[in-house]
Amino acid sequence: MIEVVKVQDKKELKRFIDFPHALYEHDANYVPELYLAQKDLLDKKNHPFFKHSEADFFLAYQDSKVVGRVAAIKNNNYLNFTGEKTGKFGFFDVVENYAVAEALLNTVTDWQKERGLAKLAGPENYSNNETCGTLIEGFDSSPTIMMPYNKPYYKEYLEKYGFEKDMDLLSYIIYTKDVPDKLIRLSSKILERLNGKGITIRKINLSKFSEEIDKIIQIYNSAWEKNWGFVPMTDEEFKHAAKDMKQIVDPDFVLIAEHEGRPIGFSLSIPDMNVPLKKLKKGRLLPFGLFKLLYYKRKINRVRVVTLGLVEGYRKLGIDAYFYMKAFEEAKRKGMLYGEASWILENNELMNKAIENINGEVYKKHRLFKKAI
């Protein structure tokens, strides 16, 4: 018998966070999420998401053993911004048993119907500003930081339940040895041309982090406003995420474009902390995880281009190409073997073309699903 219960206390929340560790115990490509970060993300009292929206977390039990988990999410900012009556599901993990997946998804469907919603979409861990998508191609390597990883049968189970494709998200791999030297030389020419138009590009100033984040927030919500599936982040949500990000960013990989002093674009790339995180048992820093994290941090050999955006009116000037070229130029200079540019909407022709121009190849795909309920 399968029983689905709502997470009600700290003990059940711990089980919710820890379930994937048992599920992927023998999977060499699995990377555990940092426990403290997951606990913060699911904290209904303190995480800024819960100031405007709601979510409940559910565990599936069979023979007193946890066999699955899921979150039912009502993102009010998304509903107000889009006008759609679409609820979301996220944090979806399940053993290889369709009956368990069905029980979890039935629970989410009922939860959304009770709130008057007509569609279900995901997986999104609150929105597509956070971790989202189901891996459907590229199971032969570990995920990079803040990218999801799952069992191959998830796609089959979601489709069997009645979900259909909503959008594919592309991840490109670019080996630093394959970035042509002529493109690196071209970057200086692009910058010279941009400077002639009053556009400057600089690295983030971490000593003025708060001021820099205020500028980036302006760019972020403006640059992505018309993108498929986008929902604006509140200032508090953005700053909450940025506070954690500050601990791992390398200023050489964070670029801000300005036009006569006005912020118009930015690019964020992060050395892939999943390399050291992979060594942490159950994502714990204590008692010895912190030492492992510091030791294996020195062995990071890849970078992820996490996000890159330009406000409207500045998208065909070569700024995006410059951002990508500088990210991989820095990666090459630091001795990194390759980088990942992810995720990119499959219908974003400008971004896809810019990455292909520096010899990027799609090596992973994640899918977002939708279903009428």
Averaged confidence pLDDT in the chain: 92
What pLDDT shows up at residue 292? 64
Q: Is 58 left (phi over 0), alpha (psi -120 to 50) or beta?
A: beta
What are the beta bridge partners of residue 70? 58
pLDDT per residue over 51-87, tens digit each?
999 999 999 999 999 999 999 999 999 999 999 999 9
93-102, 220-229, 325-334, 362-371 — which is least confidently predicted?
220-229
Domain locations in the chain as residue ranges: 2-168, 174-367
Q: Is 288 helix (H, G, I), strand (E, B) or coil?
A: coil
156-160, 223-227, 326-330, 369-373 — which is least confidently predicted?
223-227
**Span 39-43, mean pLDDT?**
95
Element (H, E) at 62: strand 54-62
Residue pair 52/235 in contact by the 8 Å Cβ criterion: no
Instruction: Give the pairing type, strands 134-137 and 302-310.
Output: unpaired
In 169-287, alpha helices (H): 181-196, 209-223, 235-245, 274-277
Q: How confident is the model at residue 243 (pLDDT cuts 50, 70, 90)?
A: confident
What pLDDT shows up at residue 207? 92
Work out the angle at residue 248's Cα, subtended by the Cα atoms of residues 23 and 282, and round it to the nearest 5 degrees: 20
Element (H, E) at 101: helix 98-114
Rounded CA separation 332/337 (Å): 7
pLDDT per residue over 342-362, tens digit each?
999 999 988 898 888 888 999
Q: Is it true that 2-168 and 174-367 share their CATH fold?
A: yes
Choose between 307 and 169: higher pLDDT: 169
What pLDDT shows up at residue 225? 77
Rounded CA separation 217/220 (Å): 5
CATH class in words for 2-168? alpha beta
The single-letter code of the amino acid at 217 is I
Which CATH architecture group holds 174-367? Answer: 3-Layer(aba) Sandwich (3.40)
pLDDT per residue over 119-137, tens digit each?
999 999 999 999 999 999 9
pLDDT per residue over 2-13, tens digit each?
999 999 999 999
Q: Is 67 helix (H, G, I), strand (E, B) or coil?
A: strand
Rounded CA separation 144/31 (Å): 9
Say what the pTM is.
0.92
